[in-house]
Structure 1
Amino acid sequence: MGDQKTLDNNTSNDISAADAPAPAQVQPTAEELVAKAIAPVKRDFLRPPPDRTCDGRESSKADDKATVANDGVSAPILKEKKSKRQLKRERRQEQKSALHICPVVGKSGKVSSCPYNEKCRFSHDLEAFKAQKPDDLEGICPFINSEGPCPYGLACRFAGTHNDDNGEVANGANNGDNRKNEMNVLKKDVQKLLWKNKMKFPKADAALKLLGLLARTRPFTINITFSHEYGRVGKNKKMGDNDNDGQIVANGSGDVDGNSCCKAPVDSSNKLDGVAEVLEEDKPDEADVGDELRPPKKTKCSVDETCSAPLNDVGNLPHRRVCKVLGADVTCGEMAMCTNLLQGQASEWALLRRHSSEDFFGVQICGAYPDTVARTVELIEQHCTVDFIDINMGCPIDIVVNKGAGSALLTKPMRMKSVVEASSRAVDTPVTIKIIILLGTNRLFRGQNRIDSLIQDIGNWGASAVTIHGRTRQQRYSKLADWDYVYQCTRAAPSSLQVLGNGDPWIFTEIKEQRHWDISSGERLNILKDYVRFGLEHWGSDSKGVETTRHFLLEWLSYTCRYIPVGLLDVIPQRINWRPPSYFGRDELETLMASDSAADWIRISEMLLGKVPSGFTFAPKHKSNAYDRAENG
């Protein structure tokens, strides 16, 4: 009996324990969340904890990349490795298919209009092209407000709004190429001089000689590559190896201003890169130096207002036009590699484009050696209209650092000095530099802030301004900028040197209006609509232009998904390194915009640019939707 009583008591205890409510979890305060870099989202918008599998992992995770299958459902990516020869063969076969109508034929609607006839690399089958062409997108042709016909004619994805095959608009308004509002276009004669290594750089060479930096340079083989914007990758070329030199292309597969879309013929004896040894006999006496070679008295680079910093794969011309609409005063192009500019690569020169709305505009270049950079700044001053030229000495990307450029220059202050001095002496345009606060990679410099010790020298070297990114090479977007150190550098700088700090996000409207903007999902969508319109004007309204616009829109969405609306936070403003918990937005669109899934970014792009092609693939290049990974950024 006693044993039975004990058993009953144990059973009763077990039942009571099972029925008892679970102890309430103590919710962390907003301050505790901020201390852990977790976004303090209001409880009303938090999602319930996710279901977990038997091994403790979440049952569903956001995908970093997505492929859209024929049924429109996201599918895993299986990427087949192909040789360069096979890829080239497939590209040529694709160009000859009905998908790629000759741009000249597409614009005019007449097969006889192409000067290359049967030798043209593109298809001339108008009927086959019309049969397979995707349905028109909603809206009107983006070139409706310009003079002349649509530059894409039949190939335009808004051809239904044209009055005829010549691209006239149905409502009678004149139509034409809005890219006439773009400046800094690479001219064909300049490109050919660069291809043949016949461009002269008198000011740069004189400055290099004055500084004792005019050196014997070593020949090297040039590898020509084309960016996402042009969708092509070339390989080493020899002089004269050019199938269709001078063929004009008016769609996104080539230079959008009518330059040749074919690979550039390159002189393998090009000797623009590298500094081997200084020739003392070439160093002139100070008395022989003309006034034009002395450090120029330049107009101060006034950048006291809001500035849009360069951002690879995002800070393109359409994005900068959006920034101007939102209130940016100063804009700067994406980083362009000096060697590629000196080779006349059309894809790299496209990064120097300037829209007429950019009233204070600069370009950013990146190079490892003083001769390369000095010749590039002279080239830009001769053939572009810019207000300043920024030299990137802070890029953390391995492929740049391993070539001695970007943040690698901070390990070599003497070369850094040579680059700035030679460049500033070669041009009248103000030269600025961009740097980071800490190296953190080389064991000799790990943990050392080096900028405050260089800031006085930077002003003496000839730079007009310096932008200090308040993070290390490893931090990328995972940490806040060290503004205290930026202020320390500012106080140490000479009065002649302007110092700018950057590293945290803002919205230009908030700065202009001095308020936290609780922007709605509809207002955010309208900004994206502006971007798409600007993108179609820049990259084209044919299928190639639409998909190029989509690609860069998706890259931008991979950044903006990190934004948490002001109205959802217990603490404002938000910080770039805050990890958001899983949360709902105030409406379905806001929830969708908060997703870090590439498949959801594609859904947003389809609201603006129609369905993606079958088998469409996208993976964010910079992993900007991540918070902790080393490759983040």
Structure 2
Amino acid sequence: MDGSSVELVEEAKAAERVEKTPEELVAKAIAPVKRGFLRPPPLRPCNDVASDSKSTPSTFVKEKKSKRQLKRERRQEQKSALNICSEIAKTGNVNACPYNEKCRFSHDLEAYRAQKPADLEGICPFTSAEGACPYGLACRFSGTHKDGVAAGTLNLQKKNSEINGLNKDVQKLLWKNKIRFPKADAKLKLLGLLGKANSKIKTFEDKEEGDLTVSNGTHATNDNSCGELVIDSVNKVEGSPKMPEEDDVEGFATDEPRPMKKIKSATNEECCTGNADNGASVQEKDLGKSCTQIEPESTTDNIFSESDGSLKLHPREKKLIDFREKLYLAPLTTVGNLPFRRVCKMLGADVTCGEMAMCTNLLQGQASEWALLRRHSAEDLFGVQICGAYPDTVARTVELIDQECEVDFIDINMGCPIDIVVNKGAGSALLTKPMRMKNIIEAASGIVDKPITVKVRTGFLEGRNRVDSLIADIGQWGANVVTIHGRSRQQRYSKLADWEYIYQCARKSPEALQVLGNGDIFSYLDWNKHKSACPELSTCMIARGALVKPWIFTEIKEQRHWDISSGERLNILKDYVQCGLEHWGSDTKGVETTRHFMLEWLSYTYRYVPVGLLDVIPQQLNWRPPSYFGRDDLETLMASDSAADWVCNCLLFWLINNMVNLPNKTLAIDRPYFSLVIILLQIRISEMLLGKVPPGFSFAPKHKSNAYDRAENG
């Protein structure tokens, strides 16, 4: 189809939108924007613009580089004067680095000052705290430092406000497989879940003599009767089983041989690591105890009779959490980072949960994965979400988190639909193996006194829901809360969530098990509707609705539709930037990391249509916004992806290089420039808050925010 044909189709669609009534538009899942704000059909671009446009996108395509070239560039960057040693940047003294000439970073202060990018507008996010800015000269706001560069260590405000950083000593022990998990192994032994893969390790343990030194400096006697084993996190993987079938319901066999191969690094895996750059923000934290410390009470609790295999563990007193009526921000991959959660807390969220972390990566001591467990002091009710395929990895991860982190609950993800997770037997693949679900929940709940929660989908295959048949068992296995996402794994995020099925499961659940619903909540009316339709439902989890408009928590608490202005939305972005700089740092790397994750968030927020522009309120999450004008230029800039219908490609570079308002003109570009224009508009917003993008900057959204347009496998 040529360019003119595409334009004719677009004109017909635009004319059709104008002619249809609001009710007809809603029936077609199109946002009914008031006619006065709709953009007219796009004008055909002039010939000179069209001819020049053919070569423009190539300048924005990211060059594909080999691993060798990337490694060479990293080494050159390390030798660059801009890669200044952090100790020298903090103190301003070239003799402050303990490594001297062996340091791999630059010690040339004069060269660094000559090449350092200009300071950003605003003040340093660490100026109000005690002590010096932890980034010193490297801070992009160094001109606002009160006493210049003063000697000091870490900023006390940041150190006290964020916790759950992995202790370096514990991390080294995880790397060397020298950490014991007495509670987990005792529970696994009781359940008969210690397979043959552990026999070699146990034999090695039997040959050891004397005491074993643990990470906190204490000694523990090697007593195999308590099931104390050395963790085998590097040489053992979760495995890569075949794609699960619906009829495969066999559990985890006790004598099943486990694969013995080295785990590949999962830093770049899309679903597993979330934000790998978080590793730079991890601070050392010592809780005064080790994950290998053996408690006498736990040993007595784990004693069981060999003659009576049915004898269960002594029941533990759980610190139960009442989720009823609380506003729960769902764990969100990539965007649900600590700064975003802080913003949602400011806007009214009650419960927050960290991004999904893979058990195998946590047991390997990966800093990027442990960064997903970070907690801010503002998160008064906080949980972490983990994902694993086998009871032993999940149980040992739960014990490790219980000892090293301060969390209120631990959530086990049994609903993740991503292929890389499902192919390993984790996530929603567990819905096809109820016996393995049972073993995982029983093992995890028998180790810690914190509540164990579970997140599931309705089923694995479309039209074959099975959670209702497991809901009673999930409570008996030891879970305190179950969250049901009203879609199957096969649906991914296409089609609307099945809330009737969620109600059915809630009514079947035992009284002690709290059931939470999840899916398509985008206004306080949606919240009220689901709560009133099923009193057995404890509360509702809010996920993508919070990504598009995080002020949904304020709307629910105040029971109103907030017609938020563009200035108020910009202030929310400013709060996010402030939180991001405090979390990732105020140096150049921290600024660009903040920019990256803000752009990821903006790839969702453009879908919001202001209340004052709609003929029918409230907006539904599956509505596709048409091309429209905002009530001011900033609101227009924050508008939907149909900006491609009015921004001329001759303005692309102008949008980046000029900080002026957009003209309200009806210009158009060809369809191939659609995603390019949106990214440039988002970059322009980021430049308002974080300054100019660096040379060679490129960005592509990691996730597709509008999944309703294509129903994958549904």
Q: Which category of TM-score, normalised to the shorter sequence, fits these structures?
A: 0.7 to 0.9
| Identity rate, percent | 71
Equivalent of 2:329, from 308, 325, 332?
308
| 1:342 counterpart residue number | 363
| 1:134 counterpart residue number | 117
| 1:607 counterpart residue number | 688
Aligned partner of residue 456 in structure 2, secondary structure? strand
Quote how far apart the aligned CAs of 1:594 are: 1.4
Contact 2:80–2:106 (CA under 8 A) maintained in structure 1? yes
Quote how far apart the aligned CAs of 1:25 are: 9.0
Q: Distance in 2 between matches of 1:543 and 1:113?
A: 21
Q: Distance in 2 between matches of 1:459 and 1:135?
A: 58
Q: 1:574-613 to 2 correspondence within 5 Å? A: 574-596=619-641, 597-613=678-694
Aligned partner of residue 454 in structure 2, secondary structure? strand
| 2:192 counterpart residue number | 212
Aligned partner of residue 486 in structure 2, secondary structure? strand
Equivalent of 1:222, from 256, 259, 263?
263
CA gap of 1:284–1:222, structure 2 versus 1, over 3 A, is farther
CA gap of 1:373–1:88, structure 2 versus 1, over 3 A, is same
CA gap of 1:413–1:516, structure 2 versus 1, over 3 A, is same
Q: Distance in 2 between matches of 1:175 and 1:373?
A: 34
Contact 1:145–1:175 (CA under 8 A) maintained in structure 2? no
| 1:621 counterpart residue number | 702
Equivalent of 1:35, from 18, 23, 27?
27
What letter matches 2:559 in structure 1?
Q
Equivalent of 1:166, from 132, 137, 149?
149
Contact 2:31–2:625 (CA under 8 A) maintained in structure 1? yes
| 2:566 counterpart residue number | 521
Q: Distance in 1 between matches of 2:17 and 2:441?
A: 58
| 1:202 counterpart residue number | 182
What letter matches 2:483 in structure 1?
T
Equivalent of 2:405, from 371, 384, 406?
384
| 2:283 counterpart residue number | 257
Q: Distance in 2 between matches of 1:133 and 1:536?
A: 18
Question: Is 1:49 paired with 2:50?
Answer: no
Quote how far apart the aligned CAs of 1:92 are: 2.3
CA gap of 1:24–1:257, structure 2 versus 1, over 3 A, is closer
Which one has a larger percent helix, Structure 1 or Structure 2?
A: 2
Q: Distance in 2 between matches of 1:579 and 1:24?
A: 15
What letter matches 2:369 in structure 1?
E
Contact 2:482–2:515 (CA under 8 A) maintained in structure 1? yes
Contact 1:106–1:155 (CA under 8 A) maintained in structure 2? yes
| 2:298 counterpart residue number | none
| 1:125 counterpart residue number | 108
Quote how far apart the aligned CAs of 1:472 are: 2.8
Q: Distance in 2 between matches of 1:420 and 1:615?
A: 48
Aligned partner of residue 196 in structure 2, secondary structure? coil
Quote how far apart the aligned CAs of 1:478 are: 3.7
Aligned partner of residue 458 in structure 2, secondary structure? strand
Question: Is 1:412 paired with 2:433?
Answer: yes
Q: Distance in 1 between matches of 2:16 and 2:166?
A: 66
Quote how far apart the aligned CAs of 1:50 are: 2.9
Contact 2:495–2:711 (CA under 8 A) maintained in structure 1? no
What is the CA deviation profile of residues 461-493 of structure 1, one whole-angstrom value per residue up to 9, with x for unaligned ones? 100001111123344444322211111111111
Scaled by the length of structure 2, the TM-score of the pair is 0.72
Q: Distance in 1 between matches of 2:682 and 2:491?
A: 25
Contact 2:318–2:449 (CA under 8 A) maintained in structure 1? yes
| 1:493 counterpart residue number | 509
What letter matches 1:29 in structure 2?
T
CA gap of 1:363–1:253, structure 2 versus 1, over 3 A, is closer
Quote how far apart the aligned CAs of 1:183 are: 1.1
Q: Distance in 2 between matches of 1:458 and 1:395?
A: 18
What letter matches 1:524 in structure 2?
R
Aligned partner of residue 280 in structure 2, secondary structure? coil
Question: Is 1:102 paired with 2:85?
Answer: yes
CA gap of 1:110–1:228, structure 2 versus 1, over 3 A, is farther
| 2:532 counterpart residue number | none
Equivalent of 2:318, from 262, 282, 298?
298
CA gap of 1:483–1:24, structure 2 versus 1, over 3 A, is closer
Q: 1:453-602 to 2 correspondence within 5 Å? A: 453-504=469-520, 505=545, 507-596=552-641, 597-602=678-683
Quote how far apart the aligned CAs of 1:166 are: 1.8
- Could you say what the CA RMSD is over the residues aligned between the two structures, in angstroms? 3.1
| 1:152 counterpart residue number | 135
Contact 1:252–1:545 (CA under 8 A) maintained in structure 2? no
Q: Distance in 2 between matches of 1:139 and 1:53?
A: 41
CA gap of 1:399–1:175, structure 2 versus 1, over 3 A, is closer
Contact 1:554–1:601 (CA under 8 A) maintained in structure 2? yes
Q: Distance in 2 between matches of 1:472 and 1:75?
A: 41
CA gap of 1:289–1:156, structure 2 versus 1, over 3 A, is farther
What letter matches 2:39 in structure 1?
R
Quote how far apart the aligned CAs of 1:88 are: 2.5
Q: Distance in 2 between matches of 1:569 and 1:25?
A: 14
Aligned partner of residue 439 in structure 1, secondary structure? coil
CA gap of 1:426–1:256, structure 2 versus 1, over 3 A, is closer
CA gap of 1:135–1:26, structure 2 versus 1, over 3 A, is closer
What is the CA deviation profile of residues 286-340 of structure 1, one whole-angstrom value per residue up to 9, with x for unaligned ones? 758998x345342322212101111101111111110110011111000011001
CA gap of 1:629–1:81, structure 2 versus 1, over 3 A, is farther
Quote how far apart the aligned CAs of 1:220 are: 2.2
Aligned partner of residue 113 in structure 1, secondary structure? coil
What is the CA deviation profile of residues 352-395 of structure 1, one whole-angstrom value per residue up to 9, with x for unaligned ones? 01111111000000111110001001100011111100001111
What is the CA deviation profile of residues 524-583 of structure 1, one whole-angstrom value per residue up to 9, with x for unaligned ones? 111110010000000000000000001110111111111111111112221111111111
Quote how far apart the aligned CAs of 1:53 are: 8.6
Question: Is 1:352 paired with 2:373?
Answer: yes
| 2:249 counterpart residue number | none
Contact 2:354–2:374 (CA under 8 A) maintained in structure 1? yes
| 1:426 counterpart residue number | 447
Q: Distance in 1 between matches of 2:686 and 2:73?
A: 27
Contact 1:144–1:175 (CA under 8 A) maintained in structure 2? no
Aligned partner of residue 332 in structure 1, secondary structure? strand
Quote how far apart the aligned CAs of 1:631 are: 7.9
CA gap of 1:25–1:579, structure 2 versus 1, over 3 A, is closer
Quote how far apart the aligned CAs of 1:629 are: 4.1
CA gap of 1:439–1:290, structure 2 versus 1, over 3 A, is closer
Contact 1:294–1:425 (CA under 8 A) maintained in structure 2? no
Quote how far apart the aligned CAs of 1:177 are: 4.7
Aligned partner of residue 456 in structure 1, secondary structure? helix
**Which piece of structure 1 moves more, 500-509 or 127-136?**
500-509
Q: Distance in 2 between matches of 1:314 and 1:438?
A: 26
Scaled by the length of structure 1, the TM-score of the pair is 0.81
What letter matches 1:163 in structure 2?
K
Question: Is 1:371 paired with 2:392?
Answer: yes
CA gap of 1:472–1:574, structure 2 versus 1, over 3 A, is farther
Q: Distance in 2 between matches of 1:622 and 1:177?
A: 33
Contact 1:478–1:577 (CA under 8 A) maintained in structure 2? no
Q: Distance in 2 between matches of 1:134 and 1:151?
A: 18
CA gap of 1:318–1:290, structure 2 versus 1, over 3 A, is farther
CA gap of 1:515–1:255, structure 2 versus 1, over 3 A, is closer
What letter matches 1:80 in structure 2?
K
What letter matches 2:27 in structure 1?
A
| 1:362 counterpart residue number | 383
Q: Distance in 2 between matches of 1:355 and 1:159?
A: 25
What letter matches 2:145 in structure 1?
H
